[in-house]
Amino acid sequence: MSRFLKWALAALVLLAAGYFAVSGWMLSSILKNVVTVGGMLSGITTQAGDPFALNYDGDPRKAFGFAFEEIALPGELGPLPAWIVPGEGGDGTHWMVYAHGIAGRRESGYKALSVARPLGIDTLLLSYRNDTGAPAAPEGVYGFGVTEWRDLEAAVKLAEERGARRIILAGDSMGGAIIGEFLRNSTHVTWVTAAVLDSPALDIRAVVHGFAVRIGFPLPGAVAWVARQIMPWRVGIDFSDAVTLPVLASGPRHLFDVHGAADSVVPVSVSDELRARRVDMTYLRTGADHVLSWQENPERYRSALDTFLRGVVGGN
């Protein structure tokens, strides 16, 4: 090889290294803003008109006229606010525990609550670390389930103490990641028989790659890989293990997943892969954007979830 070609090759390697370093840093900056408490996902204007909208603000009585109990769960970092809504005519053995998505609200669980309550399922709507009224995490970031699963565990433990013998874990977006981490790490999984997922963020690699593609980075896979290596250093939490799709693929017994093909946050390919691994799961694939499948067709969503939950309650 001539000296010129050697120099040209070296220059190309340096240019490639520089591109990936700069692009990876840029992508990690965007991701850091997303997961930082008070970052780009904060400051959403709330409303009190539609309890099924993502920005609804109001307790279950205000939203639906439902009786509820307000409690404080003993969380790892301090008390965690939660609402418990009794099921209609239930015997207290069937519980749903709902974990909302990143920078979300426990009101996000109202869709599932509205279907579960008439079936006699008690529902616990959880506020976890970094939520309004809940303790702040020392890292100042949302942990993609790596840290928050312990707060879900506190909710499950309370349900067990109150007689739950069939527990349904439900969550949207990062709530799915929290459920996955709980199932992987907790010892309190004995009574968990079902999971209800909406646009679940079960694979951090797919989420980061999706961001790289939408931004338009050339060679997005490599840029996403670099960004993932940088993130733990920038936010203080190692997200590299936030891949819980295999956990959901192996359990629990009953699994429901709804995901929109136009999802701009968590690629629908995540749920497609889960479906390929769990051919027995109930999969509602819509055309909606992130966690907006209910808004696309409320009756279709409600009907599918109702049929699924009846099967869980009936032990089918």
Tens-digit pLDDT profile for residues 146-183: 999 999 999 999 999 999 999 999 999 999 999 999 99
SS3 call for 141: strand
Please provide the size of the chain in residues. Answer: 316
Q: What's the confidence (pLDDT) of residue 21?
A: 86
SS3 call for 315: coil
Mean pLDDT of all residues in 20-29: 89
Return d(Cα 35, Cα 28) in angstroms, integer: 10
Dihedral sign for Cα atoms in the order 277, 201, 271, 187: positive
Least confident of 3-12, 44-53, 253-262, 293-302: 3-12
| Whether the predicted pLDDT of 2 surpasses 80 | no
Q: What's the confidence (pLDDT) of residue 16?
A: 61
What's the per-residue H, E or C state across 178-246? HHHHHHHHCCCCCCEEEEEEECCCCEHHHHHHHHHHHHCCCCHHHHHHHHHHHHHHHHCCCHHHCECHH
| Whether the predicted pLDDT of 258 surpasses 60 | yes
SS3 call for 53: coil
Least confident of 27-41, 69-83, 184-198: 27-41
Mean pLDDT of all residues in 244-250: 97
Tens-digit pLDDT profile for residues 79-132: 999 999 999 999 999 999 999 999 899 999 999 999 999 999 999 999 999 999
Dihedral sign for Cα atoms in the order 182, 36, 28, 293: positive
What share of the chain in percent tops pLDDT 90?
82
Mean pLDDT of all residues in 196-225: 95
SS3 call for 314: helix
- In whole numbers, what is the pLDDT of the chain averaged over residues? 93
123-to-15, 69, 113, 253, 296 alpha-carbon distances in Å:
55, 10, 6, 19, 24
Q: What is the pTM of this model?
A: 0.94
Q: Are 193 and 165 in contact (CB under 8 A)?
A: no
Give phi and psi for 178, each to the nearest 5.
-60, -45
Mean pLDDT of all residues in 127-149: 94
SS3 call for 140: coil
Domains parsed from the chain with CATH numbers: 1-35+204-238 (no CATH), 47-203+242-314 (3.40.50.1820)
DSSP 57-123: ---HHHHH----EEEEEE-SSSEEEEEEE--TT--S-EEEEEE--TT--GGGGHHHHHHHGGGT-EE
Residue 18 or residue 294, greater confidence: 294
Return d(Cα 256, Cα 185) in angstroms, integer: 21
Mean pLDDT of all residues in 58-69: 98
Q: Which of 162, 196, 161 is nearest to 179 (CA)?
A: 196
Which tokens go with 242?
Answer: 């936030």
Give phi and psi for 66, each to the nearest 5.
-80, 140
252 preceded by cis ω (within 30°)? Answer: yes
Mean pLDDT of all residues in 42-63: 93
Tens-digit pLDDT profile for residues 267-295: 999 999 999 999 999 999 999 999 999 99
